[in-house]
């Protein structure tokens, strides 16, 4: 592997790879059909240290850096079910980092440590029916009432929400202040007033549960406020960078898997007297696609390296240059992965259009990448600002 990975990263990668091959791949077809994978998968991943590797030892982690998350994201993508991979990445890399950054000793002991050990399932609650990539437009709000907060509103498109034990949630605490009036809370899902309004049916990522949540005079103790009141938006923007970086490395690995599958298919499938892979058109096409994958991987690794340097080496907030490169990676990887998987499906012909084919699943699943964690259009809007345009 490239120079970013040490021997301990490679050992961890082998652990994830074995987990994927033995405990995910044999079952993903059934989980896709059921549109849910078992809670036991979270527990097993936690037992193996998949969630904890990049967290500090004092919160129950392995003391590693961001490259452990990169290795994990790449290997999970090979399970051929983006829904399973996404559910597990939300648990360890999306819903929980903000608790590590802001949490009190009590919050870490109650929520973070059990989550990274697979004993509690976590979700991140940001998107709302009327506020997607424009996070500042959220309308769920909390008002102080004695030693509690009363929260009303709704969240939607929330991964892991159907069976989550808690939701790390962004709400407005000072609605008149816009983005500067947001705060993070940890909300146990057994809180009175919390409800799963409905499980949502998606185009792809079928094995992950996604839900709409409703909050009706939900009373949350003030001890579940994460960090300072009205400082949540800034921390969310930091959290988004790790989510986007890890989504890029996962998407590149998924695109590579689809291309590898297509090439293997082409060795066996014959048309007009010889294997498809021997057709010059497709040879040249695959050379072009592999080149784009290599470029996407290089840019993703550059983004991951910058993020790792900021957060693990220098231990500072993410720099604007890092935000710029991560945003560029998300735009570029989205375009490349979509092209690679679409061409891979085309290469399979009718077989690629069948539900049972892994490339059909990848084609459906990959479409989310250009929407989730900030749409491609939003990324370009941010980039234009960062470039002074």
As annotated, the active-site residues are: 243
Please give the helix or strand (H or E) that residue 153 lies within, else none: strand 148-159
What does DSSP say about strands 122-125 and 166-172: parallel, antiparallel, or unpaired? Answer: parallel
Integer Cα distance of 297 and 252 in angstroms: 6
Q: Any idea what the Cα angle at residue 158 is, between residues 154 and 161, rounded to 5°?
A: 95
Conformation bin of residue 220: beta by default, left when phi > 0, alpha when psi is -120 to 50? beta
Integer Cα distance of 351 and 138 in angstroms: 43
Q: Are 226 and 107 in contact (CB under 8 A)?
A: yes
Q: CB within 8 A of 7, min separation 6: which ones?
A: none
SS3 211: strand
Take residue 188 and report the two structure tokens written for it.
């146990």
Q: Are 301 and 218 in contact (CB under 8 A)?
A: no
What is the DSSP-derived secondary structure letter of residue 276? G
Phi, psi of 111 (to 5 degrees): -120, -55
């Amino acid at each position: 592997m490239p120079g970013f990975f040490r021997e301990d990263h490679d050992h961890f990668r082998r652990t994830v790879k074995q987990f994927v091959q033995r405990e995910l791949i044999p079952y993903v077809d059934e989980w896709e059909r059921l549109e849910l994978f078992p809670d036991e998968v979270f527990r097993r991943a936690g037992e193996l240290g998949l969630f904890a590797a990049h967290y500090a030892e004092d919160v129950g982690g392995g003391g590693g850096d961001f490259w452990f998350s990169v290795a994990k994201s790449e290997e999970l993508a090979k399970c051929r079910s983006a829904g399973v991979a996404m559910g597990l990445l939300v648990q360890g890399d999306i819903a929980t980092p903000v608790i590590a950054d802001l949490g009190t000793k009590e919050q870490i002991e109650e929520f973070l440590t059990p989550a990274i050990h697979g004993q509690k399932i976590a979700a991140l609650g940001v998107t709302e029916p009327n506020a997607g990539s424009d996070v500042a437009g959220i309308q769920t709000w909390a008002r102080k009432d004695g030693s509690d907060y009363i929260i009303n509103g709704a969240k939607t498109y929330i991964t892991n929400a159907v069976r989550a034990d808690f939701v790390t949630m962004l709400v407005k605490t000072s609605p008149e202040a816009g983005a500067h009036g947001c705060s993070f809370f940890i909300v146990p899902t057994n809180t009175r007033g919390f409800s799963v309004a409905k499980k949502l049916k998606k185009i792809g990522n079928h094995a992950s549960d996604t839900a709409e949540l409703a909050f009706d005079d939900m009373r949350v103790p003030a001890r579940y406020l994460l960090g300072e009141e009205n400082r949540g938006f800034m921390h969310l923007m930091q959290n988004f960078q790790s989510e986007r970086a890890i989504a890029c490395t996962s998407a590149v690995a998924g695109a590579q898997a689809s291309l590898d599958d297509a090439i293997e298919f082409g060795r066996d499938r014959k048309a007009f007297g010889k294997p498809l892979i021997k057709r010059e058109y497709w040879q040249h096409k695959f050379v072009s696609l592999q080149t784009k994958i290599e470029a996407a991987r290089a840019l993703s690794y550059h983004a991951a390296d910058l993020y790792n340097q900021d957060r693990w080496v220098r231990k500072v907030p993410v720099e604007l240059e890092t935000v710029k490169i991560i945003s560029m990676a998300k735009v570029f990887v989205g375009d490349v992965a979509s092209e690679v998987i679409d061409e891979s499906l085309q290469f399979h012909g009718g077989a690629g259009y069948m539900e049972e084919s892994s490339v059909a699943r990848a084609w459906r699943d990959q479409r989310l990448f250009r929407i989730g964690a900030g749409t491609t259009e939003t990324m370009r809007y941010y980039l234009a600002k960062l470039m002074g345009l």
